[in-house]
Amino acid sequence: MSASHPPADSILTIDDLHKNFGGLRAVAGVGFSVRRGSLTALIGPNGAGKTTLFDLVTGFAKPDRGTIRFEGRAIAGLPPHRVARLGLVRTFQLTRVFAAMTVLENMMLAPRGQPGESLLHMLAPKGSDRRSEAAVRERALALLQHFNLREKSGDYAGTLSGGQRKLLELARVLMTSPHMVLLDEPMAGVNRVLGRRLLDYVEELRRTEDVTFLFVEHDMDVVMTRADHVVVMAEGAVIAADKPDLVRINPRVIDAYLGRAH
């Protein structure tokens, strides 16, 4: 799976990426690219290296070797906050909301480059800061409305149900105005109805905001019906990257999933 000639419209290009933990080769020579505006699924058996790959791309782990290019910029080894500021934002497998902050505060925290977040700036505040804060609040409330969380805006995020937390996490990521979002098992621990709604939001955002999504998912029905491109990992390497219907019949993929027993 060489990515040395990525398609011109790729937003994320990974090439020959390696990461070892002690003797364990978690990611061993991964390369693929994600097309801008696509909804790409990353699948593979447990231990295939999917979450490690997410960590490498978003700066939570440093690769031993290899390149990652996001919108043409080399980002391998950048710290997480620098990656996020470029517009490449992730969610976590275990949902992470700021429990002792209100739902609205969770949302308002997220936008990049808020003037009031700088201490130096606070020494000489401008009138525009208040307007910026008001605009952030308005946008947060509108998004919460859209995600059916508006009436929860004053509650502590720690009082939300698991599904509501997932929704909040997705809404919060959108507050950063991302170019690309990495979702680590967005439907895990969520009932099917809510899971579908979550994916509907994702598809809508892709259409209306031109956000690119790369998501890890175990539910094959969801992957095959929703994704327009599927990357399959096994034992730290990419074994297939293709359209869903072609991945489904790829013998290497069937092997990796069903084991060598069949």
Partner 1 sequence: MSVDFWLGVGVTAGVYAIFVLGLQLNVGFTGLLNLGQAGFMGIGAYAMGMLVTDAGWSIFAAMPAAVLITVAAGLLVGLSSLRLRSDYFAIATIAFAEIVRYTFQNADFAGGNQGIIGYDQEWRDIAGWLLRQLIHTGLGGDTQLPLFIVVWLCFGLCLAGLRLLQASPWGRVLRAIREDEEAAAALGKNVLSYKLQSLAIAAALAAIAGFFLALNVTYLYPSEFDPTFTFLGYAILVLGGFARYSGVALGAVLFWSVVEGLRFLQLPLSAGQLGSLRFVLIGLILIVLSMLRPQGLLGRKAEMQLSR
Query: What is the b/e burial string over 217-240, where b = at least 16 CB atoms within 10 angstroms of the residue's CB?
Result: beeeebbeebbebbbbbbebbbbb
Q: Give dist(CA 44, CA 66) in Å, integer.
A: 21
Q: How many residues sit close enough to partner 1 to count as binding (CB under 8 A)? A: 38
Other C-beta atoms closer than 10 Å to the C-beta of 120 total 6
Which span sits near partner 1 by CB under 8 A: 3-11, 103-111, 199-207, 208-216?
A: 103-111
Q: Is 105 in the site for partner 1 (CB under 8 A)?
A: yes
* 8, 119, 193, 261: which one binds partner 1 (CB under 8 A): 119
Q: Shortest gap between Cβ of 122 and partner 1 (angstroms)? A: 6
Q: Shortest gap between Cβ of 199 and partner 1 (angstroms)? A: 21
* 52, 153, 164, 176: which one binds partner 1 (CB under 8 A): 176
Confirm if 103 and 81 have CB atoms less than 8 A apart: no
* 5, 81, 260, 262: which one binds partner 1 (CB under 8 A): 81
Q: Is 98 in the site for partner 1 (CB under 8 A)?
A: yes
Q: Shortest gap between Cβ of 227 and partner 1 (angstroms)? A: 23
Q: Give dist(CA 246, CA 199) in Å, integer.
A: 22
Which 198-227 positions form the footprint of partner 1 (CB under 8 A)?
A: none
Q: Shortest gap between Cβ of 118 and partner 1 (angstroms)? A: 7
Q: Which lies closer to partner 1 via its Cβ, residue 92 or residue 257? A: 92
In sequence order, the β-bridge partners of residue 68 are 14
Q: Where are the beta strands (DSSP E) in the chain?
A: 10-21, 24-35, 39-43, 65-70, 73-74, 88-90, 180-184, 212-216, 229-234, 237-242
